[in-house]
Amino acid sequence: MRHGRRRRKRTRNLPTLYIRAFATFEDSTDDNAISWDTDDIPFVIDNSATGIICSVGKLFIGPLISTKVTLETAEGLTTKTKFVGTIRLVMTCDHNKQHWYDIPGSFFDPDSPINLIGIPFLGDYFGKNDKVPNSDDDGTWVKSSASRSQFTWDYRKNERHFSHGSSRLPELYLYV
């Protein structure tokens, strides 16, 4: 530093930390009730949905193909142009082990208010090489109560117990 000149202090934009804590029962021993990770992404695990919808583009690998998609909801049918591609899901089981799956035919919708994993669709993915029936009918499922869920997948090889957040939906955080 030269004599007589003051060095200007640089300021940087610091990352924002977002913490979401879930309420649990006092006697609960559920270690999955609090998420401190800033990179985790919530997905609603839905046994009535027949697809995967995600609003986070970086989770898709390979090309996204523009496709007209008809969605059936409680409000009726709507047809919109969406992008279809292969999503890379990273799911953590109760043993804190990460499992990676590349699932084709998933929808990228940057305007979707929620990310959604349909159990029938996921069961079809795991059972795609089976003989009839070609779905992992008894090995991929979710059981939900008013405030907790048990999610089992890939021929019952993996399981995750989790508490619901303030939305009271079976919302599981992936990429933890």
Closest CA to 54 of 3, 94, 110: 110
Q: pLDDT (tens digit, 0 to 9) for every residue of the chain, 176 residues total?
A: 455 555 544 444 444 333 333 333 333 334 444 444 447 899 999 998 899 999 999 999 999 999 888 877 777 778 787 899 999 999 999 999 999 999 999 999 998 899 999 999 999 999 998 887 788 888 999 999 999 999 999 999 999 999 998 889 999 999 87
Domain ranges in the chain are: 20-174
Residues 6 or more apart whose Cβ sits within 8 Å of residue 128: 134
Residues 6 or more apart whose Cβ sits within 8 Å of residue 7: 1
